[in-house]
């Protein structure tokens, strides 16, 4: 998950400020792409088929049987089977089909809770896929799910956070999303998702000094490899190489991923040579 997350974000610890700092280029294009590709790129049949290709035969057979029951069901039974399928797909870490079934559950049993669950799963799928066609479509579905959750309960902080995240990532004017996330941290200063995304946006816009306290808040509340990695990125870009090395090594230790470990080892060697 972490490696996909890092390498789909075009950051990789190598970001430098540009004249476009503070702007999210082609956000309108991403919104249009999301709207245009949602139906064609994201549907249960194609997502399910693709996901089964990476499962062992027994698991795929079990899911196919459940899907056949789902196709023949109606009403409450269909929603109940969609819940089972969402869980089954989540259990085998196939996030996109899981999110699509959670969307069906929310359509059948609309509430702030069901739409929030769908939105969170779509965001998770967005962060874990490297499919450039699927990304805007997943973001669009997350955006709509969070909007539906807020229609049901305008005070839902988690849905507001999620909506802000989708906007910051390309669905609308980034500063609108930033404003929403700042509202969230004003109410919940330790909110992990809001602080993480405010930190990421600070890095993207070259405001590395602003990113550091955001990632430190995440680390103090719920330390993750991502938070340490991006803390290292911010520190590196400020020339604080010794601190950056420590943050990168903490990320490596928590993630325990060979691909990331190799990347960080090279990064650490570069930074040590600069000292």
User: Quick one: 123 and 203 in the same domain?
Assistant: no
User: Quick one: 49 and 121 in the same domain?
Assistant: yes
Total tally of structural domains belonging to the chain: 2
Of 158, 132, 128, 160, which is closest to residue 147 (Cα–Cα)? 160
Of 93, 112, 116, which is closest to residue 102 (Cα–Cα)? 116
Identify the domain containing residue 46 by its residue range: 23-172
In a domain, 184, yes or no: no
Q: Are 71 and 116 in contact (CB under 8 A)?
A: no
Given a cut of 50, whether residue 273 has pLDDT beyond it is yes
> In this structure, is the dihedral angle defined by the CA atoms of residues 13, 16, 17 and 18, taken in order, positive or negative?
negative
User: Quick one: 168 and 37 in the same domain?
Assistant: yes
DSSP summary character for residue 19: T
**pTM of the entire predicted model:** 0.80
Residues 6 or more apart whose Cβ sits within 8 Å of residue 62? 88
In a domain, 179, yes or no: no
Band of the pLDDT at 251, cuts 50, 70, 90? Answer: very high
Q: Are 51 and 97 in contact (CB under 8 A)?
A: yes
Band of the pLDDT at 148, cuts 50, 70, 90? Answer: very high
Band of the pLDDT at 170, cuts 50, 70, 90? Answer: confident
Domain at 4, CATH number:
1.25.40.10
Q: Which of 172, 202, 223 is the last residue of a domain?
A: 172
User: Quick one: 134 and 259 in the same domain?
Assistant: no
User: Quick one: 146 and 30 in the same domain?
Assistant: yes
User: Quick one: 159 and 40 in the same domain?
Assistant: yes
Which two structure tokens, joined as six digits, stand for 104? 């069906």
Rounded Cα distance, 55 and 49, in Å:
10
Q: Are 42 and 100 in contact (CB under 8 A)?
A: yes
Given a cut of 50, whether residue 177 has pLDDT beyond it is yes
User: Quick one: 93 and 195 in the same domain?
Assistant: no
Of 133, 146, 143, which is closest to residue 46 (Cα–Cα)? 133
Tally of residues, the chain: 275
């Amino acid at each position: 998950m972490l490696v996909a997350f890092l390498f789909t974000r075009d950051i990789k610890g190598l970001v430098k400020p540009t004249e476009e700092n503070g702007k999210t280029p082609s956000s309108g294009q991403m919104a249009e792409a999301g709207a245009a590709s949602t139906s064609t790129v994201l549907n249960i049949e194609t997502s399910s088929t693709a996901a089964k290709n990476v499962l062992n035969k027994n698991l795929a057979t079990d899911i196919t049987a459940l899907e056949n029951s789902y196709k023949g069901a109606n009403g409450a039974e269909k929603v109940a089977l969609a819940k089972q399928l969402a869980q089954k797909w989540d259990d085998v870490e196939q996030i996109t089909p899981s999110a699509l079934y959670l969307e069906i559950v929310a359509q059948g049993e609309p509430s702030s809770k069901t739409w929030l669950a769908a939105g969170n799963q779509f965001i998770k799928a967005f962060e874990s896929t490297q499919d450039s066609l699927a990304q805007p479509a997943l973001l669009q579905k997350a955006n709509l799910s969070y909007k539906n959750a807020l229609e049901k309960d305008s005070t839902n902080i988690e849905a507001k956070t999620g909506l802000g995240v989708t906007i910051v990532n390309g669905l609308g004017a980034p500063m609108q999303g930033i404003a929403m996330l700042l509202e969230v941290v004003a109410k919940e200063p330790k909110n992990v998702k809001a602080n993480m995304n405010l930190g990421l946006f600070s890095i993207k816009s070259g405001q590395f000094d602003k990113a550091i306290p955001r990632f430190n808040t995440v680390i103090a509340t719920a330390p993750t490899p991502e938070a340490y990695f991006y803390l290292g990125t911010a520190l590196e870009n400020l020339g604080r190489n010794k601190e950056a090395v420590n943050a990168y090594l903490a990320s490596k230790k928590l993630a325990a991923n060979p691909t990331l470990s190799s990347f960080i080892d090279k990064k650490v060697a570069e930074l040590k040579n600069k000292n």
